Amino acid sequence: MVLRKGPSDLLGNSAWNAIAFAVAVLLNLAILPFVIFRLGLAAFGVAGLVTACVAPALMFSNALGLSTARELAHRLEPSDRGEARRYFATALALALVVGSLIAALLCLAGAPLARLGFHLGGPAANDLRLAFVLAGVGWLFQCLFVVFLSLFTARQDYRRIASISVAGTVVTAMSMLLLIPHAPRASTFLGCQALGFATNLLMAFGWSRRMIGEWVARPAFDRNALTALVKLGGWQMAAQSGALFAGQADRYLLGALLQPQFVGFYSVAQRLEEAVYIGVLKIGEILFPFFSTLQKEADDRKVDLLLRSSWILNVLAASALGGLIPVAGALLHRWTGAEVAAEAQLVLVVLSISGIMGSSANVFAFYLLSQGRSRSNALISLLTGIFTLATSAIALPYFGWPGAGWSACVGMIAQMVTTVVLLRRTFKVPGIWSRVVHFVLIPLGVGIATALALSSQLGHGSFDQAPSWWYVVSLYVMSAAAIFVATVAASQLGPYRAVCWRDLCAIANRFLPFKAV
């Protein structure tokens, strides 16, 4: 039977995604100061560069996982079981064959190319070859894992997806606590991550065989399935390439122009911003299979759901990411020390602003992907990557380390403009511009303005010693709450205020112990 999810089911799925991500973020952020202290910023920067070098491989694995999930989501009826098994078998064969080739390339050529491109040397880079081997093997585990995970994604079984994610994160964190003190090297850090990916793969394989074994098949190529997966996945890989350039441009150029410790500073700021940004993205991730069921709906219905979903996630993104801006210095000081706070505070502020602007495209990207329009997603990502990379190439040589992060803002502005133009061309619905302004642009603009205003009043304190966690958490919660109130208040000034308020009350009634007005 095809799964039909109502609003309550979607909110429940979002909650599972949010819980899994919150656990992962708390463990990762809690262990990072320990990792930096044990490894040192130079070795941590080397690990960041190795991760950045492996990132291009994610274009293949992410595209394969998304295209497989979409095709399986359209074949959930018992009568489609044979066809679904052929798609799964073909995806698994692709992961094994192509994934093994990519992993072998990373293991053999990664270290020599990294030494040449990033001028790596010294004690921090002595185990570079082993670091690439472990990172490549870990990526291969992840590549196989996403194929099995697509079985649960297609069924919108986010409870099990959350459980698998949490288990992998716990294994990674615990192995770091046990192994890094005995071998404080970049390769140890990457090996612990590989253990987490192996755990994810084993759990997904075991649960899929035990619970939905009739949908699982051995790897084998089917011509029709291969054509469909490649057709969708090819454009999705192009989209992933743009996202790769946008996310890694500063790290590549910092590695080429400066010492590894500056990559470490950037990685710390980026990890904080990414933790919050991806958390919001995970909450909205459940819209991908949901939008896949709307292909026969009228355009007005699609636009209504698309923009209302955008408003909810944009308010959440503006509040969660904007709350980092006033607390950036205090948070970094408390978390990683005065040296990192002094170097990375401005970068964290800039990255948080770019993350808020980048949230404008998330829901639309899920919709395009669910409708098989990966070409449009590729255009958005490629333009974002081009603007980001070009700005980085200009800014970093002239401004050095302080220029890091500004390229992300330029890239996200290009992404926002491209998304709005494509949205207008996709839907021929009267009055769509006023709805885009109200549901998409206003919450993001109000969020950024409020965050910067709060930062000018609260965010420039100097500390003789690390501020307490109570101070940091209280300041973040207060800032995020103030931004949330401002964005909701702004939504009540336009013509769609009743829609925004009704959706907000529906969410409150789903999760709060009392009934909202």
- pLDDT averaged per 10 residues in sequence order, the chain, 517 residues: 46 62 74 84 83 85 84 80 88 93 92 80 76 94 92 81 88 93 91 94 91 84 83 62 62 68 76 78 60 62 79 89 90 82 85 87 74 70 80 77 76 84 76 82 92 83 71 91 93 85 78 54
Cα gap 479→174, rounded to integer Å: 33
**pLDDT tens column, 178-223:** 999 998 988 999 999 999 999 999 999 999 888 888 888 888 888 8
Q: What pLDDT shows up at residue 66?
A: 80
Cα gap 438→303, rounded to integer Å: 13
431 conformational bin, left if phi > 0, alpha if psi -120 to 50, beta if neither: left
pTM over 0.85: no
Dihedral angle of Cα 150, 154, 156, 160, to the nearest 10 degrees: -30
Cα gap 152→401, rounded to integer Å: 43
On whether the CB atoms of residues 446 and 318 are closer than 8 A, the answer is yes
Q: Is the dihedral of CA 449, 453, 455, 460 positive or negative?
A: positive
Contacts of 470 (CB under 8 A, 6+ apart): none
The token pair that represents 90 in the structure block: 């073909």
Q: What pLDDT shows up at residue 7?
A: 47
Q: DSSP letter at 467?
A: P
Q: What are phi and psi of 236, to 5 degrees?
A: -65, -35
On whether the CB atoms of residues 310 and 363 are closer than 8 A, the answer is yes
